[in-house]
Structure 1
Amino acid sequence: MTGKTLFITGASSGIGAATARMAVARGWRVGLFARREDRLRDLVRELGADNALALPGDVTQMADQQAALQRMTDAFGPLHAAFANAGRGLDAPGTEWGEVDEWQDMIRINILGLLFTAKAALPFLKETQGHLLLTGSAAGRIHIKGSVYGASKWFVHGYGGNLAEEMREWGGRCTVIAPGMVDTEFFDEAKPKAIRPDEVAGAALYALEAGDHAAVREVFLMPR
């Protein structure tokens, strides 16, 4: 049992919820941040109020994330890790047929929301020489015809490396968790051959629980 604390955005379903379940099973206490308060409260009931805290809010609002982190540390003590996991895709692929409003909404979540998580969490993580996880994607490691979504994940991979160097100066660590297709609500129908959310959660916990002298910069998972 670690007794450590983990803040997770996009925690109401998919990778975020799976990571919360696995972290609690391994002794972590978790702060669950997402817009869907009803789902967060259901997850807290499942995990136990001593282990999990519902933190409803909008990832695109810096003030929401700052307030959530303060609430979490007031309840659970020092922050040891944060997982910038919230993200969304696009209904209209490519550039020519892409919808500008969709691009703006995606960039607010996939890029600005992630930046806000990093900025809000770093002051807390500095106190513990803590760890920041970012959800990247296989789409951020390859070129996909016209993919604006893929470009948003290229940002995550580039920024993750830059942030790892910044955090290294004070003993912190940053890891990009980069899965291929994951069977979550991200897709309209089930993807039985895709990676399961709990498999991505396992990658996140692997990075978080690496030895004191190991910095796992990226975990890249693909369906078999």
Structure 2
Amino acid sequence: MRRFEGKVAIVTAAAQGIGQAVVRRIVAEGGAVVVTDLREDAALAAAADLGAQHALGVKVDVTSRTDVDAAVAAAIGRFGRLDLVVNNAGGCIVTSMPEDTSAEDWHRQLDLTLVGAARCIQAAIPHLVKTRGNVVTISSVNGIAAFGNVEYAAAKAGQIAMSQNYAARYGPLGVRFNVVAPGTVRTPNWDSQPGALETLTAMYPLGRVGEPEDIAAAVAFLGSDDAAWITGHTLPVEGGVLTGPNPIDLSPPDTLHTASQ
């Protein structure tokens, strides 16, 4: 398939894991990509692997509007257009119990995961209107059901609501907004937790956790003209984990700890 022939995408956090699989899929289908990452050396290396004709590496911190604007300008300057934005940057950066989370940590989580995606959309919109392009945001099953990580889940649920509202607002201009909600995916983020993926496998009816390529396939569909009449929707790519009882114990602790204690 050559669904991205002549098209240009920006993918955030694209030097490894899901983002890297997405840029590889887009290039394999004929597209050009701006590979962004918080680590400049990683972004440049990932782009070099794809070839200078097809990829440009740019350092981007999505909490900086200056960085985001520069990435969009780089896409236009190098490739002359922008057709697709894939919001992949984010992560679970709060590790405290929800009753102990400070306002500052709430702001950090939301700024990275939710507001970061909003910055990318705002910077790209004028160009996406010109190409009748689209945005695919990588959310999570945590934004759909209760799997813990309250602050992260709230940010991911916010991405879904934001995308629905943008879809309604910009649909008349031909710009689409959709969301992919992965379950557990085998990425380098799990390297520091030996055995965790094997334990989590038991949650999934399909008998395995996801691979980055599973998510890239969904992004390629929603980001292409194959999904030309789909907007404002969330596609769970989650091995069936949303189909049955949640095995994670989310009951409150015997004693609640508050930030003031």
Where on the TM-score scale, by shorter chain, does this alignment land: which range?
Answer: over 0.9
Higher-Rg member (1/2): 2
1:219 partnered with 2:235: yes
Identity of aligned residues (%): 27
Following superposition, the deviation at residue 91 of structure 1 comes to 4.8
Q: Which residue of 1 aligns with 2:164?
A: 161
Q: Unpaired segments of 5 or more residues in structure 2?
A: 199-207, 241-261
CA shift digits 1:123-168 (9 cap, x unpaired): 1101001011111110111134571111111101111111111120
8 Å contact kept, 1:89–1:186: no
Q: Per-residue deviation at 1:99?
A: 5.2
Matched with 1:203 is: 218
Residues 146, 18 of structure 1: alpha-carbon distance in 2 compared, 3 angstrom cutoff: closer
Question: Counterpart in 1 of 2:202?
Answer: none
TM-score, normalising length: structure 1:
0.93
Residue of structure 1 equivalent to 2:205: none
With structure 2 as the length reference, what TM-score do the two structures score?
0.80
In structure 2, what is the equivalent of residue 177 of structure 1?
180
Which residues of 2 match residues 1-224 of structure 1 at below 5 A?
Answer: 1=2, 2-98=5-101, 100-145=103-148, 147-187=150-190, 188-189=192-193, 191=197, 193-211=208-226, 213-216=228-231, 217-223=233-239
Structure 1 runs of 4+ off > 4 angstroms? none
- Which is worse superposed, 145-154 or 92-101? 92-101
The AA in structure 1 aligned to 2:52 is A
d(CA) in 1 for partners of 2:227, 2:101: 45
Gaps of 5+ in 1: none
Equivalent pairs, count: 224
- Provide Cα deviations, 1:5-47, integer angstroms capped at 9, x if missing partner: 0001111211111100111011010001111111111111210
The separation in 1 between residues aligned to 2:27 and 2:167, in whole angstroms, is 25
What is the RMSD of the two structures over their aligned residues, measured on CA atoms?
1.8
Q: CA deviation at 1:89?
A: 0.3
Distance in 2 between the 1:208 and 1:221 partners? Answer: 15
Question: Is 2:61–2:68's contact at 8 Å kept on the other side of the alignment?
Answer: yes
